[in-house]
Each structure stands twice: as structure tokens, then as C-alpha cells.
Amino acid sequence: MSPTNQAGRLTPELRTTGFYFTLFMANGAAVIALPLWLNAMGISPGEIGVINAVPMLLMLLVNIVVGRIADRAKDWRSVIVIGSLVAGVIPVGLFFVNEFWGILLVWTLAALPNSAVNPVVDAATMRMTRRRGTDYGTIRAWGTVGYMVINASTGFAIAAFGTAAFVPIFVALSLLRASTALGLPQFRSPEPQATLAGSVPVAGKARELLKPWFVLPIFGFAMVFGTHFILNAFAALLWMEQGIPEWVIGPLVALGAFAEASMMFAWKHFSTRFSARHLILLAALVAAARWVAMAFSPPIWLLIPLQLTHAVTFSLGFLASVHFITNWTSEDIAAEAQSYFVVLQQSMSVVALIGFGWLVGLMGPHAYLVAALFALAGGGCVWLSLRMMAPKAQAA
């Protein structure tokens, strides 16, 4: 009997799905309401930028360390639960701060454990589903669904109750995530698991992650990933300057999230037919075409299919990258390898945000052409890797 069809109990997949459903909810509320709340608290735009940037910069130092600790634990679950509990309790401090330094401290302390847990969850879930013959993409998709639900409901809540509603909402969602973490299953296999790479040696030590053919694909997608942060930060502003009505911008953003979730549900149909690196390369090429089109201020009718390409440019590339890392690493460094991937994503996101912010002032929407070149360079990294190490079955 399939693990997901066993009756009478909550399977590991269902318990993990429940956690993923809550995993990004607090972030979904923050995207909508954090800037509004900070502005209402008298925080300047420059200080708002600092509050958002400091956790991201510190995460570059924290993520790999936490991944290493998780790999050395008896099971990845313990680190996920502890991190979620810490990230659930600390936001309560937001009720007691009302100036820049206090908010910066509490927000940073709350963001760090939450961010550090995410790659550990991805690594643990991928290993568990592969061992049990189930689908990681379907489980991960529910994280995006939860994010979308909170995006919409937070907007309504702020409209009805004002910005003061943000902190209670954020704290409640953080505690909800912590409580669902307690229901997570044990993830680690009792016996060493073979990778899809077959007889090809896989990385079992952290230093082996630095081989060029292994680094290039995940660095390449990190470059593509960074261009999506540009979309999050500047698309709404550029669309408004283009004359797109405000009531259209929200649905356009939601359409991208819908496409993202749809691809995750359909992931298993791609993962068994194509090598991971070829899928990452496809994501890079489609992203380059997407940003070229965005550079010329397309009308609404064209923005709709462009937003739907988010299924390929983000979801397909991300899932293929996680798949690639899992195929070529052992369980001994599973969480550390995924954390390494997240650090590359965050690094490229910071570079893209800083650079694109400057370019928008000089070039307006034509700055997307630079994002297209960034994505093409990422695709070039993947192509080089394929030249160095050919795919083995579906392992590469």
C-alpha cells in the first residue's frame, strides 16, 4: 500500500504538508503589512530598508552553521522543531517595542531561526519522500498555497482594522507554525540511502560541494533566483508608473504565485523525464525572455502570460535545484548542502536588489534587460556544468 494511502493515521507526508502549509504564512503577512506598520510607527523609509536587509545579511552567516548542526543531529526534525519554537516565541516582543533599534533587534532575532529552518525542511522532506516513493513537489506546493491565503486575508484585515492588526496577526501565525512543527515525523532513514547518481561518487563531506561542476548549476540558479527579488521589489512601482491600475497589480502578483504552486503540484511529471540541470537551464532561458519582455512595458494582456511563466522561471528551477543537490549528496551533509544553496540565493538577491535599484533610476523599466543578462549568465553556468559532468540517468 502506498504511504500516502494508508488509512487510519496521519502519514509522515500529511504531517509534513501541514507544517509546510503554515511555514510561509507569517512571511505572507509581513510582505503585505510590515512596511505599513513600520511607517505607522514612525520608522523612516531608510530605516525600513535596514530592518529588512539586516536579517538577510546575517542569514548568510547562520544558515550553513545550522545546516551542519542539523546533519549531525540524530534526526533533522529536532533542529526544525527547536528553530520553529524559537521563531514562534520571539515575535511576541513586537508588542513591547516602538522605536527603530528595538524593532530591528526583535525582527532580526525572529527572522534568523525561521530562515535557517527552511533549507533543513527542504532537505529532510526531499529525503523522506524519495525513500517512501512519494512526491516532494506536492508537499512543498502547500507552502505556497498557505502564503497566498495569508496574502489575501491580511490585506482585508489591514483594511478593516488598520496597521495595528499586523503584530497580532504575525505573532499568531508564528505560533501556529511552531505548533504544527511539533507534529512533524522523523525524517532520517535508519539505513544509508542510495542516490540516483548510481555508481558516480556523491558528496559526503562539505568540501566536496565546492567542485566546479556541482557549484555552477546551483550558483547559476541563484543568479536566476535573484532576478525574482527584483520583480518583488520593483514590479508594482514600475507597473504603476506605466499606468497599470492598482486594482490590477494585486491579481497580477497573485497570478505568479498561482503559477508557482501549480508547477509544484505537477513537478513529478517533469522530474522523471528530464535531468535536473536541463530543467535549471530551461528556467534560466525562460527567465531571460521574461525579463526582456518586461523591459518594454508590456500591456496587461501580455503581462498575464508573462506572470504565468513564473511556473518555469522560479518553481521549475527551484525544484530542479533541490533535486540536483539531493541526487549528488549523501544524507550526511543533506541539510548543509541545502543551506549552502540558500546562502547563494540570498547573496545573489542582495546583489540584484542593490544593483537593480540603482539601474531603475538610470534606465527605468529597461533595467530589466540587465536582469535578462543576469539570468542568461546563470544559464551559462549550468551549460558549463553539463560540459564538465554529463547527466547520469535522471541524476544530474
| pLDDT tens-digit series, residues 79-99 | 999 999 999 999 999 999 999
Are the beta carbons of 124 and 327 closer than 8 angstroms? no
Residue 341 burial class via C-beta count within 10 angstroms: exposed 0-12, middle 13-18, buried 19 and up: buried
As a whole number of angstroms, the distance between CA 350 and CA 344 comes to 10
Query: Would you state the pLDDT for residue 1?
Result: 41
- Ramachandran sector of residue 389 (left: φ over 0; alpha: ψ -120 to 50; beta: rest): beta
Q: What is the pLDDT along the chain (396 residues), one digit of tens a residue?
A: 444 444 447 899 999 999 999 999 998 888 778 888 988 899 887 788 788 778 888 888 888 888 889 888 889 999 999 999 999 999 999 999 999 999 999 999 999 998 889 989 998 998 899 888 899 999 999 998 998 888 878 878 888 898 899 999 999 999 999 999 999 999 986 655 555 544 444 544 556 677 899 899 999 999 999 888 777 667 776 887 888 887 787 788 788 889 999 999 998 888 778 899 999 999 999 999 999 999 999 999 999 999 999 999 999 999 999 999 988 887 778 888 888 888 888 888 878 777 777 787 788 889 899 999 999 999 999 999 999 987 765 445
As a whole number of angstroms, the distance between CA 126 and CA 121 comes to 8
SS3 (DSSP) at 203 = strand
Cα–Cα nearest to 253, from 328, 321, 304: 304
Question: Beta partners for 329?
Answer: 203
Query: Would you state the pLDDT for residue 151?
Result: 80
Cα–Cα nearest to 216, from 227, 204, 224: 224
**Which amino acid would we find at residue 173?**
L
What element of type H or E holds 139?
A: helix 136-161
Are the beta carbons of 259 and 311 closer than 8 angstroms? yes
Work out the number of other CB atoms within 10 angstroms of the CB of residue 196. 18
Query: Would you state the pLDDT for residue 167?
Result: 96
Report the Cα–Cα distance between both ends of the chain, in Å, rounded: 30
C-alpha cell at 389: 559532468
